[in-house]
Each structure stands twice: as structure tokens, then as C-alpha cells.
Amino acid sequence: MLPEGPVKAMFVVARPVPDVWRAFSSEAGWRGWLAPDMQVKVDVGGKFSSDSTQVKGSILELRAPRKISLSWTGPAGGPASIVTFELEHRGTSTKVTVQERPGGAPPSGEEKANREATWRTQLKSLKDFVEKSSPAPERVALPAEDLEEPRARRRA
């Protein structure tokens, strides 16, 4: 049985924070990874909804480009959860963490595990969307002679 507490999931996206933030800062971004029919006004107090996923709510906190918190009601209805996405710089990558605090009773161990699996699936969708829609960070390539020089010294 999982311990009580918020539902959490994490994924690393191989793009910098600004690229990942674009998926949260526009309606097109939300549509690209969460629901193709997502309607959202990205601003504190802005509403969002999707008929296909049956979610709705509003934006409670927005701290670009690091954090967005939502009041979230899913298909089952009931009290709204508070869902928070946080983005953390990791070199040329971004660690994305989602935390859901259910509005009703804490989820049971099995229900919590199911919710965490669902969020991991959503974060994988986010990762795929961002990595396909943003160019990969440039890598610095060394000229071939710079790579060969240490080998030549070892042989001498």
C-alpha cells in the first residue's frame, strides 16, 4: 500500500525550461499534449475545459516559466483537486513534476497508484509533444583533430 499524501509523478524532458513552458502557456500547447479540444485562458482565474477528457477547472497560480496550479475536476466529478506542475532546470533538460492534492478524502493505495500512472502517461505525452515540436539543443562538436590528439600523445 502506498503512503497517504499527494499524488505525484515526474518526467524529464530533453528540452530547456522555456521550450517546456510553451506547452503550458498557450491553448495550442495544452491541445498538443493533453487534449486536442482543450479550451483554456492561460491567466490566473482563467478557465479550462475539454469535452474529450471531461476535465474542467481554473488556473489558481501562474509563475512563468516555473509553476502552474489548477483547480481540476475530472470525469468522476466530486470535489476539485489542486494540480500543480513545476518545471526545474536540469542542464539542457527540464524536470517536470506534477502533484495532485485531491479535494475529497485521500485516495486509497490502489487509487493513488492508478492516478500516479495516469499522470506519468500524461507527462510522457507532454515530453513527446515538446521534444517533437522544439528543436534539440545544439551540441558542441569538437573537430576530429582535437579528439585524436590525446590518442597520439598516448602512443608516443
- Which residues contact residue 149 at a Cβ distance below 8 angstroms, ignoring those fewer than 6 apart? none
Q: List the domains of the chain with CATH numbers.
A: 7-138 (3.30.530.20)
Mean pLDDT of the chain: 87
Question: What type of residue sits at position 20?
Answer: V
106-126 pLDDT per residue, tens: 888 898 999 999 999 999 999
- Whole-angstrom distance, CA of residue 156 vs CA of residue 42: 63
Strand partners, 47: 58
pLDDT of 139 > 60? The answer is: no
Cα 39 vs. chain centroid, distance in angstroms? 18
**Tally of CB atoms within 10 A around 131:** 15
- Asked if 99 and 84 touch (Cβ cutoff 8 Å), the reply is yes
Nearest to 39 by CA among 83, 65, 26: 26
**Tally of CB atoms within 10 A around 20:** 28
55-88 pLDDT per residue, tens: 999 999 999 999 999 999 988 788 899 999 999 9
**Tally of CB atoms within 10 A around 50:** 17
Average pLDDT rounded to a whole number, residues 15-41: 96
pLDDT interval class at 3 (50, 70, 90):
low
